[in-house]
Amino acid sequence: MNPKLTRRRFIKGVIASGAAATSTTIWYAANGADRPAGYVERLIRINVNGQVRSVDVAPQETLASTLRYKLGLTGTKLGCNRGECGACTVLVNDIPSYACSVLTHSVKAARIETVEGLESPNGDLHPVQQAFVEELSPQCGYCTPGQIMAAVGLLRANPNPTREEARQGLAGNICRCGSYDSYLDGVMRAAQIG
């Protein structure tokens, strides 16, 4: 399996991002509607799902906040907003990353993919999405977009994982419903679909 896809790497990424995302004040911090004196907000461009989007981003704004509240991509879920649960997992240059713990300004040059970008233009589901439907992998579904993005990242790095490798690949994503077994079945089926 790709060693990049471990929880350890997620956590390192969180530390490196410098995102302070641990208090009940996270929402205003993430949204950053008010600006300290001397700061000038910047209209930046980010590449999301193959489209370059111009967006007004505060310096301390997280990618999850930008995606959900500026770009309307609500498929990226916030379960904890502090790098614990993985519901906000997106791909940054093919690497599964916690969007709640990545500053938007830090990914200006990156390719960002969310669950909304997986379907083909004709509406066909991505093989991981199709496999998750066939295996009925989701239960409540709240963690599902994050699980899917983690699985897509895994299969790009390792198209034919063993079940144990798939298990390690999904280790950064909590499912409180406990549907892990069905998610693993979905990943293994997706690997077969290709």
Partner 1 sequence: MAYMHIGKDFVPPDVAGKVTGRIKYAEDYSREGMVYARLLTSPIPHARVVSIDASAALAMDGVFGILTADDVYPDGEPGGTGLKILTNEPTLVGEPILALAAVDEKTAESAIAAISVTFERLPFVLDPLDSLAEGGPDAYTGGNTFVFREGFASEKWSRDQVASFRAGAEPTAEPQQQFAYGDLEAAFAQSAFVYEGSFTTAGYPHMSMEPRSAMAYWENGKLYLHGTSQSLTGLAVDMAGIVGVPQEDFVFINEATGGGFGQRARAGSIPSMAIPAKLSQKINRPVMMRISREEEFTIGGARQGFQGWLKCGFKADGTMAALDIYIISDNGGKGGGGDAFAAADCISILYQTEAMRFRGTAIGSNTGHRGAQRGPGQNQIAPIIAPILDKAAAELGIDRLAIRLLNTPQNGDVGGPQRQPLTSAYMPEALQQGAALFNYQERITRSRQRNGSKVTGIGVGQGYHNAGRSGMDGIVRLMPDGRLAVHNGVGNLGTYSYASTSRAAAEVLQMPWERVDVITGRTDRNLPVTSPQDGSNSIFTNTRTNWGAAQDLLAKMKEIAAMDLGGAPADYTVGGERIYKISDSSTGMTFAQIAQRGLQLGGKFTGEAEVPEDLNDFTKLSVSRLAGSALMGIFHDSRHNNNPPGFTVTFTEIELDTETGKYDIVDMVTIGECGTVMHPQGLKNQLVGGAVWGIGLSGYERHLYDPQNGLPASTGYWQSKVPTILDTPAKIRTGWVDLPDPENPVGARGIGEPAMGAVSAALTAAISDALDGHLFNASPITADMILNHLAGVTSEAVPLAQNNFRG
| Residues making contact with partner 1 (CB under 8 A) | 23-29, 31-34, 73-82, 84-85, 87, 114-116, 118-119, 125, 129, 132-133, 135-136, 138-145, 148, 163-164, 167-168, 170-171, 173-184
Nearer to partner 1, 108 or 116 (CB): 116
Beta strand segments in the chain, E: 42-48, 51-57, 89-92, 95-98, 111-113
Q: How far is the CB of 137 from partner 1 (least distance, A)?
A: 8
- What's the rounded Cα separation, in Å, for the pair 55 and 111? 15
**Least distance (Å) between residue 122 CB and partner 1:** 14
Nearest approach in angstroms of CB 83 to partner 1 is 10
The residues, ordered by sequence, that sit 6+ positions from 117 with a Cβ below 8 Å of its Cβ are 48, 49, 50
- Eight-state DSSP code of residue 90: E
Nearer to partner 1, 70 or 156 (CB): 70
Q: Which is nearer to partner 1, 17 or 114 (CB)?
A: 114
Q: Which is nearer to partner 1, 108 or 177 (CB)?
A: 177
How far the first Cα of the chain sits from its last, in Å, is 17
